[in-house]
Every structure is written in C-alpha cells, then in structure tokens.
Amino acid sequence: MTIDLHRLALDAIDAAADELDLGTWLRAMLHQPERSLAVQVPFIGDDGSIRVVPGYRIAHSTARGPAKGGTRFHPDVTPEEVAGLATLMSVKTAVMDLPLGGGKGGVTVDPKAMSELELESLTRSYARAIATNIGPDTDVPAPDVNTSERHMDWMADEYARVVGAPAPAVVTGKSLAAGGSLGRDTATAAGCRAVIAASARRLGLRSDARVVIQGFGNAGAHLAQLLAADGLRIVGLSDSRGAIHDPAGLDVAAVAATKAAHGSVIHHDAEHVSTTDLLALDCEILVPAALEGAIDAAEADAVRARLIAEAANGPCTPAADAILAERGVTTIPDVLASAGGVTVSCFEWEQNRRGERWTADAVASRLEVRMARALDDVWQVAEARRLPLRTAATVLGVDRIATALEARAGLGADELAS
C-alpha cells in the first residue's frame, strides 16, 4: 500500500512535540523545511534532443549540522514526498546523534528507460542545478532509490567543476576510488544487526533465535548473512517473486548464490510460501527489508515474532503499529534500525573533510558503538516516558533538534515560546 510519507512524518513530529510540550515557533520550524529548491533539469537524450524534467533538493533542518539525505530518481517523485523524506532524515540523524541535519533530493524521471549516457547527462545537470544549495557545510546528498555510487561520483565531479576545486565531502556514497568509505555497502545491514543483537539480549531471546526477513536486496541479503554468521537461524526469506521457508534454518550463502545465478530466492530448494504468509511464520525476529507499508493491520494481526526490526523505511503502517504495540511486539523503528547507512555516510563525510581513510574494522567498530548508544538512548526515553520505541525515538530526535534550535535562538525566543 502507498503511504503519505510527509503526513506520517508530520504526525510523528506533532506527537513528539506534544509529549515535549514544545512552543509554537519550534513546531513551525519542524513542520516546514528550512530551504526548498525546485529546479528544471535539462539533459541530452541519445537522439540528440534535449529533455527537461523537474528536480528538487530540500533541506528540512540544519539545526544540528549540514543537511544529509539521499537522491531519488523515480517517476513518482513529488516535492511533498521529498519534503517528507527530508523530515524523516532530520529525525534519523538526530536519533543517531550525528553532527548533521536532514535533507533529501529527487528527480521525477524513469531512469530504467534511460541509457548510461543519458543518466550521466541527467545527473550532472541535476548537480549543476542544485550546486548553489549543496556543499560540505550546507547540504550533503547521498544515493537513494535508483541512484548509486556512480551517480554520486558524477555529482561530486560536477560540483567540483562548478566551485573550481575538488570537494569530495559534498556527497557521500561515492566509489572507493572517488573517496567513498569502506563498509558503506553493508552499513545498513551492519547497523540493523547491531540493534537486533542488543534488543534480543534485552528481551532474553535465545542466541539461536529464528529470523524471517522480507526482501533480499542490499539491506536484506547482507543482513541475512550477518545474522546467520552470528548463529541465528534464518527460517524465512523473500523477494518480489516469492518466499521460502525452512524451520531448521536456510543456508543463506546458498540462497544468495541461487539468487545471483537465477534471479530470485524462489529457485532455492526449500518450501515455498506466499510473501504474505512469510510475515506470519513462527519466529522470534521479523525484519521487513523491502517496501514501505508492507505490514498493515491484517499482517500485524498474524505476526508471531516478538521483535520487529525495520530495516526498510516505513514498513509498518500506523494501523499495524497500534496492533503490534497492543500485542506486546517490540518494534525497533526505521529511524534507528535502518540508520547504519546514514551513519557510515557521516563517517565518509568526516573522512573526506579530514583527508583520512579509515580501515574496514575502524568503520565497523565505530558503527557498532554508535548503534548501541542510540538504542540505549531510545530505550531510556521509552522507559522514562512509558512510550513505545517508535514514539520514543521521535521524541529523542525532535528533542535534540529543538534543543539545537533553542540554543541558537535569539533573546526573544522565550517570549515567542510562551
């Protein structure tokens, strides 16, 4: 199901603002992006014609540091969606206590119908169009849906041409050769694994707990391999074509090899189940790592896991969330469980700014420390205020942004707040 991300983000912020009793000016600051840019993006088609598509770059908040967030190339991109995603990024970076704010960008285009040359022309044109609004100290884009390190390398190169000097810290998610960080490709999975391990200990789950993962892409496949290596049993896996189940535990490396060779997990030799039934399998830990809105009320009713870790963005609808909370299922929200990627993006930005190259081990251990600290922080707010983890995470993030805004406000802020 499609969900209105901007509405959801604003509702979550309103609930947190109520919990924190924030004044009107802070609510207004949190509701509106600080800076929104809409641009025209002309690019050269393979037939020599010039096409023009709309693009956006929105900085929701820079109260805690430069805005940070991905770049989406998709036919459904709208300014409202970009604003919603930028808002979520502000909360995510604040929950992780990174020295960054939140932003997002997008171009309304179907990249799947374009050649490599057209994509390069489009990406460079987009980078030029938003160059006045981005920069290592202002707003730092990254990859998102349908963009990857290749696009980020083009954006960094084009930005360097505009400003007349190399500036690798202007975007993250670059290739290693162009200043990317080790550990970036597995960062989301590694971050999710860290919060699952710590939460499983808190809940007293067995060390060989059973795990079901929806989605076997970048996040899901890496996570399955990491959790299996930790000794957990991966009893169910799915991709867009179907789902497989083995109560004794799937051989994840073999499933990955099958997917690489034949295009889907369904070709692996195991019991087939529907993608919906996958979510209702008997297990302790369920990880939605595929789609927004994948778990709605009906699926939530059927969930048998004790712990859900949202590796995907927005996989549980508000209706599902209410049912899961009522049923005592612990949900590690997306702003925390999927924050490994932005955290290593932050590490990349820090390395670029300092002219450093961290080892894979240094990245992995710093990530683990950050994730464990953020989980502890969220859990503390949840216990102190008697809130579900999702609300607690938003309260923590909004509180940190509001505190930064207040610290920087003029002397009149107190009167404004009353």
Does position 290 interact with ligand NAD (CB under 6 A)? The reply is: yes
Q: Can you tell me which of 140, 219, 286, 371 binds ligand NAD, judged by CB under 6 A?
A: 219
| Closest CB to ligand NAD among residues 17, 85 | 85
Residue 273 binding ligand NAD, by CB under 6 A: no
104 among known catalytic residues: yes
Residue 351 burial (10 A CB sphere; 0-12, 13-18, 19+):
buried
The residue type of 315 is P
Of 45-53, 110-118, 154-162, 307-315, the segment contacting ligand NAD by CB under 6 A is 307-315
Query: Near ligand NAD by CB under 6 A, which window of 34-42, 225-233, 283-291, 301-309?
Result: 283-291
Q: Does residue 275 interact with ligand NAD by CB under 6 A?
A: yes
Q: Which is nearer to ligand NAD, 123 or 238 (CB)?
A: 238
Task: Please say which residue, 107 or 289, places its beta carbon nearer to ligand NAD.
Answer: 289
Q: Does residue number 159 form part of the binding site for ligand NAD (CB under 6 A)?
A: no
Cβ proximity to ligand NAD: between 92 and 124 the closer is 92
Near ligand NAD by CB under 6 A, which window of 50-58, 76-84, 193-201, 216-224?
216-224
Catalytic residue among 68, 104, 174, 259: 104
Q: Which is nearer to ligand NAD, 55 or 293 (CB)?
A: 293
Residue 218 near ligand NAD by CB under 6 A? yes
Structure tokens at 249: 């535990």
Q: How far is CA 223 from CA 23, 70, 129, 135, in A?
A: 41, 21, 36, 32
Among 258, 313, 331, 352, the residue binding ligand NAD under the rule CB under 6 A is 313
The CB-of-215 to ligand NAD minimum distance in angstroms stands at 3
> By C-beta, is 84 or 341 nearer to ligand NAD?
341
**Binding-site string for ligand NAD from residue 18 to residue 47, where x marks contact by CB under 6 A and - marks none:** ------------------------------
Query: Closer CB to ligand NAD, residue 39 or residue 397?
Result: 397
Tell me the closest approach of the beta carbon of residue 278 to ligand NAD, in angstroms: 7
Token readout for 317 is 């609808």
| 214 touching ligand NAD, by CB under 6 A | yes
Q: Which residue is nearest to ligand NAD (CB)?
A: 217
Residues 335-354 that bind ligand NAD (CB under 6 A): 338, 341
Q: Which is nearer to ligand NAD, 147 or 188 (CB)?
A: 188
Q: How far is the CB of 49 from ligand NAD (least distance, A)?
A: 31
Q: Are strands 102-108 and 67-74 parallel, antiparallel or unpaired?
A: parallel
Subset of 91-110 contacting ligand NAD (CB under 6 A)? none
Interface residue with ligand NAD among 311, 335, 382, 389 (CB under 6 A) is 311
In the complex, the smallest distance separating the C-beta of residue 331 from ligand NAD, rounded to whole angstroms, is 15
- For the record, the structure tokens of 273 come out as 């189940």
CA gyration radius for the chain? 21
Is 312 a residue that touches ligand NAD (CB under 6 A)?
yes
What letters, b where the CB count within 10 A reaches 16 and e where it falls short, cover 318-329? eebbebbbeeeb
CB of 114 to ligand NAD, least distance (A): 18
Question: Three-class SS string for the chain?
Answer: CCCCHHHHHHHHHHHHHHHHCCCHHHHHHHHCCCEEEEEEEEEECCCCCEEEEEEEEEEEECCCCCEEEEEEEECCCCHHHHHHHHHHHHHHHHHCCCCCCEEEEEEECCHHHCCHHHHHHHHHHHHHHHCCCCECCCEEEEECCCCCHHHHHHHHHHHHHHHCCCCHHHCCCCCHHHCCCCCCCCHHHHHHHHHHHHHHHHHCCCCCCEEEEECCCHHHHHHHHHHHHCCCEEEEEEECCEEEECCCCCCHHHHHHHHHHHCCHHHCCCEEECHHHHCCCCCCEEEECCCCCCECHHHHHHCCCCEEECCCCCCECHHHHHHHHHCCCEEECHHHHCCHHHHHHHHHHHHHHHCCCCCHHHHHHHHHHHHHHHHHHHHHHHHHHCCCHHHHHHHHHHHHHHHHHHHHCCCCHHHHHC
- Check residue 289 for interaction with ligand NAD (CB under 6 A): yes
Of the candidate spans 94-102, 119-127, 197-205, 237-245, the one that interacts with ligand NAD by CB under 6 A turns out to be 237-245
Catalytically active residues are: 104
Q: Which residues bind ligand NAD (CB under 6 A)?
A: 188, 214-220, 238-240, 275, 289-291, 311-313, 338, 341
